[in-house]
Amino acid sequence: MKIQCVWEHNGNDSILYSNNFVGAYTRGETKDIALQKMAKEIESYLEWKGEAVPDSLEAVIVQEKSSTLVISDADSDVLFTEEKKPLSKLEYEELKALALKSAQDFQNLYEAIPDKNRSCLLARKTFYGQVPRTAFEMYEHTKNVNDYYFGEIGVVTDHEGTIVECRRRGFVLLEIQPDFLKNTVYLGSYGEEWSLRKVLRRFIWHDRIHAKAMYRMAVKTFGDSIPNVFCFV
């Protein structure tokens, strides 16, 4: 099976996103390093979804975006060509269910951390400020993009309550809007293009980034008793 990859890069620094496994990604100091990681990422992703892994997986680049952003810190603004297409009702419901599963699994992982304010990680800064170190900081950071992502496509919501609650409220408000399945492309903050498809992908991708970080931190800090709810490899 072909893994259709969108390559976003700044010089050699690379992020690869899967076009046909929404939310799956790899990063690397070079394109080749990111490509080499992709088959393992898709195996992990499919295990998380509860689906069978194909006998063979081959990563192929179908779109490229040269960026001025700090790609090494997962700063990203790419809009896939595929993310400009309208959604069917069935496709939307499947992607929404996956975004809500992602939120619930992130919640489950967070709740499994025995001390939400303890971490062995050293302080570090990125383009958005201090990198979250503790489970609480990672959870709050991940949850708090809810109103930002929805707001980029004209849905006014919030990030109150749990990550599952605020994301579910956002979808309810989205679905009130007429013709939301047309997948209109919006020019959002900082001149970045957004669509509903991109929001759905970004939720899953952003959860996955910070769930991986939270799981790695938790294992280093508390040992390997933390449940592997995102099926990391």
Coil, helix or strand at residue 42? helix
pLDDT for 233 equals 64
Residues 2-77, CATH architecture: 2-Layer Sandwich (3.30)
**Token digits of residue 1:** 């099976």
pLDDT for 103 equals 98
- Residue (of 135, 141, 131, 106) closest to 118 by Cα position: 135
Q: What is the pLDDT tens value at each position of the chain, 233 positions in all? A: 999 999 999 987 899 999 999 999 999 999 999 999 999 999 999 999 999 999 999 999 999 999 888 887 788 999 999 999 999 999 999 999 999 999 999 999 999 999 999 999 987 776 556 789 999 999 999 999 999 999 999 999 999 999 999 999 999 999 999 999 999 999 999 899 999 999 999 999 999 999 999 999 999 999 988 888 888 76
Q: How far apart are CA 13 and CA 96, in angstroms?
A: 31
pLDDT for 128 equals 59
User: How big is the CA angle at 191 (ends 133 and 189), to the nearest 5 degrees?
Assistant: 50
User: How big is the CA angle at 48 (ends 42 and 51), to the nearest 5 degrees?
Assistant: 75
Instruction: Please say whether the beta carbons of 203 and 149 come within 8 A.
Output: yes
pLDDT for 123 equals 78
Cα 31 to Cα 22, 24, 72, 78, 142: the distances in Å are 19, 16, 12, 16, 27
pTM: 0.94
Residues 6+ apart with CB under 8 A from 115: 135, 222
**Token digits of residue 74:** 């997962």
Cα 152 to Cα 17, 87, 193: the distances in Å are 20, 18, 9
pLDDT for 232 equals 75
- Residue (of 205, 169, 164, 212) closest to 80 by Cα position: 205
Topology classification of domain 82-222:
Four Helix Bundle (Hemerythrin (Met), subunit A) (1.20.120)
pLDDT for 126 equals 61
- Residue (of 147, 142, 151) closest to 204 by Cα position: 142
Q: What are the sequence ranges of the domains in the chain?
A: 2-77, 82-222
pLDDT for 131 equals 81
